[in-house]
Amino acid sequence: MGKGRLEAFSDGVLAIIITIMVLEMKVPHGDSLSALRPLLPVFLSYVLSFVYLGIYWNNHHHMLHVTQHVSGKVLWANLHLLFWLALVPFVTAWMGENHFSAAPTALYGVVLLMAAIAYWILQRTIIATEGPHSLLATAVGRDIKGKISPLLYAVAIPSAFFEQWIAGGLYVLVALLWLIPDRRIERKLGERKP
Amino acid sequence: MGKGRLEAFSDGVLAIIITIMVLEMKVPHGDSLSALRPLLPVFLSYVLSFVYLGIYWNNHHHMLHVTQHVSGKVLWANLHLLFWLALVPFVTAWMGENHFSAAPTALYGVVLLMAAIAYWILQRTIIATEGPHSLLATAVGRDIKGKISPLLYAVAIPSAFFEQWIAGGLYVLVALLWLIPDRRIERKLGERKP
Amino acid sequence: MGKGRLEAFSDGVLAIIITIMVLEMKVPHGDSLSALRPLLPVFLSYVLSFVYLGIYWNNHHHMLHVTQHVSGKVLWANLHLLFWLALVPFVTAWMGENHFSAAPTALYGVVLLMAAIAYWILQRTIIATEGPHSLLATAVGRDIKGKISPLLYAVAIPSAFFEQWIAGGLYVLVALLWLIPDRRIERKLGERKP
Amino acid sequence: MGKGRLEAFSDGVLAIIITIMVLEMKVPHGDSLSALRPLLPVFLSYVLSFVYLGIYWNNHHHMLHVTQHVSGKVLWANLHLLFWLALVPFVTAWMGENHFSAAPTALYGVVLLMAAIAYWILQRTIIATEGPHSLLATAVGRDIKGKISPLLYAVAIPSAFFEQWIAGGLYVLVALLWLIPDRRIERKLGERKP
């Protein structure tokens, strides 16, 4: 079963999610530069989510690049990931419009955590299909970043109710952690090149 | 005539439909967790529709995978299916916002029923082009799930006016029925593999 | 220069346009079936526009299928067509919300007329690149439907100010005229098959 | 690493951006032609942005056509460009709704400037991967248009606060400058043809 349509569908959904977030930025009523100021937290949360969705697209791209077989289970694990990513614009807008207040900031972390878990399930599902000696399995290896991220989200979520900026800082930290493209797979591909 | 553009266009429309539903979830005004409570029925109806659209994408994917020829009639039968699926976000929002009350819940079933009929017409149109001994025709076989689903919708629609949870339960039941990926086609493909 | 990306981009834009129209259908406030009644003209105008956009996608699909070379001019002629088609949801909503009153119904025709002219320009641009003996040139032939449609729109636009149903009827008539898939190209392809 | 998904994702985002702008055109309340008059500046700014996004899609298309390798850095440089282009509908609506007043018109220029810089970074990143003797490097050459455009934006932005029509005129001028498809790459490709 070809992976082409899985990639095309995921690209479509991710492209829409990323662009839908812009729609959440309501055009201000005044026409002065100061009318833009209330939009600043919305804009910052939009930038953060844009980077997160960019990371997901990037890693998804790398992961499927080394995938050979796509089973029915993989299709559903992928839809499950897209479901949580599709909630990102909602929590981004809620967090931005409420200036990173407690509950919205915590919920933002919950959606990120669920997306991270969904990505891990997708990865496991593909490796289960491809086998433990597949390109993806060896490339992922011990998957340290993939294990640290959920832990950091789990710390960030309750901390949002005490000191919201710890949560915000942790979200930025995880994003920076992943912003570096997944060299593991690129390296593995390099090694295998004849 | 290539099926590539038909798949790409369908993927695009389905990706947009699935993501548009998120837009229907209006960001709440308060910033407390309790502000999310009124959104719960909207969220639940969104999850149900997400699963339904995932099922349609999945089965559409399988069906076109074993399709060889795409005629003008198939293009229109496919557009007809997409028309009914494009109405899913509308009825999902109406049903969710009105807490699964009678008329919206019934209309939700009507759209699901029309989509099921449209899918059946598309399947018939492709089989008519491919011939009765084609891979698709043999894979579909007696198509028991495809025949039971419209019956269950037909029961659910009037029951929404008496006991709305019977209708809701039947919609969930049909979704579960289909959540299992269409092994028939996968099996057929396996058999035909050299 | 490959035509793959031109097709992919056009499919994307058309898929979005078709689905955006659904967003124009605002979820009604009441939860009774009678709350749906005011939506009927919006729904009818949506069905008409869906059929029109389906026709454009279909014919675009056929036209590019027999196109071999895509020049810079073709890219812009295609964008010009997409520009007018992107205005269809706007005029559809305006016409539907005002129950097919004079000015909106006339403007709907203007957008259809401009789209028809843009399609004709795109066709001419491709034929100019491909040559007068190309598959497309011979398939298009005298292009009777392509010449009648703008004439009918030109009659419909002013008539909307006198008797709106003449205009509406003419829009439906042109749609029915085109609903029949473009057999000319399919036939030509059939002839050329070895 | 294949460039197919990069092109598909970019096409998706650009298609959505171009079409989202239409959504900003709110359907007027009246049903007379005069009800459309307040929409005229919005429509004009929409046409300008449509042309700009068309130019970006066109040039992006040409640039990736002569690109062979896509690295992780290129993926991020591309996302960076898409980020600024995704802000175009927002500034287009703000500028149009405020009849090209000072601050919105200046901000429109800022987003165009950032997009131009992002495009230049993407071009540099690809050339750094492909090498100084690559098809793209020789095709781009001295890149006079790419150097003049940011200068003109830099003049337009402050001038919006003194005489808004100078800024507007400069935006139109740059668009006209680029509307001519990038013949450099087409010419280079022609030369290299056997």
CA dist B145 → B52, B156, B158, B177, C68 (Å):
14, 16, 21, 7, 43
**Are the C-beta atoms of residues C80 and C120 closer than 8 Å to each other?**
no
The per-residue pLDDT for A53 is 94
The per-residue pLDDT for D151 is 94
Which pTM does this prediction carry? 0.88
Mean pLDDT of B64-76: 86
Local confidence band at C193 (pLDDT 50, 70, 90 cut-offs): very low
**Chain B contact for C61 (CB, 8 A cutoff):** yes
Between CA D8 and CA D126 the distance in angstroms is 17
**Chain A contact for D57 (CB, 8 A cutoff):** no
Residue D30 to chain C, least CA–CA distance (Å):
8
Say how many CB pairs under 8 Å bridge B and C: 77
Out of A136-145, B8-17, B157-166, C83-92, pick the least confident: A136-145
The per-residue pLDDT for B1 is 55
The per-residue pLDDT for C191 is 52
The per-residue pLDDT for C185 is 57
Number of neighbours of residue B141 by Cβ within 10 angstroms:
10
**Chain C contact for D77 (CB, 8 A cutoff):** no
- Is C132 exposed, middle or buried (CB count within 10 Å of its CB: 0-12, 13-18, 19+)? exposed
* C8 → closest Cβ in D11, D35, D36: D11
Q: Of C93-97, C111-115, D160-164, give the range with the top mean pLDDT.
A: C111-115
The per-residue pLDDT for B132 is 78
Local confidence band at C169 (pLDDT 50, 70, 90 cut-offs): very high
pLDDT digits (tens, 9 = 90+) for D107-120: 999 999 999 999 99
Eight-state DSSP code of residue A27:
P
Which residues in B lie closer than 8 A to residue C8 (C-beta atoms)? 8
Residue B23 to residue C23, Cβ atoms within 8 A:
yes
Out of B138-142, B145-149, C149-153, pick the least confident: B138-142
- The rounded mean pLDDT for chain D is 86
Residue D89 to residue A22, Cβ atoms within 8 A:
yes
Residue A164 to chain B, least CA–CA distance (Å):
13
The per-residue pLDDT for A111 is 96
Q: CA torsion A163→A169→A170→A175, rounded to 10°? A: 160
User: Is pLDDT of C102 > 60?
Assistant: yes
Stretches in chain A below the pLDDT threshold 50: 192-194
**Chain A contact for B183 (CB, 8 A cutoff):** yes
Residue A31 to residue D93, Cβ atoms within 8 A:
no
Residue C136 to chain D, least CA–CA distance (Å):
24
Q: Which of residues 79-138 of A touch D (CB under 8 A)?
A: none
Residue C27 to residue B24, Cβ atoms within 8 A:
yes
**Chain A contact for B182 (CB, 8 A cutoff):** yes
Closest CA to D14 of D58, D76, D75: D58
Between CA C4 and CA C7 the distance in angstroms is 5
Which residues in D lie closer than 8 A to residue C69 (C-beta atoms)? none
* C181 → closest Cβ in B9, B72, B103: B72
**Chain D contact for A9 (CB, 8 A cutoff):** no
The per-residue pLDDT for C194 is 41
Residue-by-residue pLDDT tens, chain D, 194 positions: 568 888 888 988 999 999 888 777 888 888 888 989 888 888 999 999 999 999 999 889 888 888 888 888 898 999 999 999 999 999 999 999 899 999 999 999 999 999 999 999 999 999 888 887 787 887 777 778 888 999 999 999 999 999 989 999 999 999 998 886 555 555 655 554 44
Alpha helices in B87-131 (DSSP H): 88-97, 102-130
User: Is pLDDT of B166 > 80?
Assistant: yes
Neighbours of chain C (3+ CB pairs under 8 A): B, D
Query: So what's the ipTM on this one?
Result: 0.85
Name which residue leads in pLDDT, A142 or B160.
B160
Residue D25 to residue C107, Cβ atoms within 8 A:
no
* A8 → closest Cβ in B11, B47, B58: B11
Local confidence band at B142 (pLDDT 50, 70, 90 cut-offs): confident
pLDDT digits (tens, 9 = 90+) for C48-87: 999 999 999 988 988 888 888 888 889 899 999 999 999 9
Which residues in A lie closer than 8 A to residue D2 (C-beta atoms)? 65
* C98 → closest Cβ in D16, D31, D189: D31
Residue C2 to residue D65, Cβ atoms within 8 A:
yes
Between CA A70 and CA C42 the distance in angstroms is 41
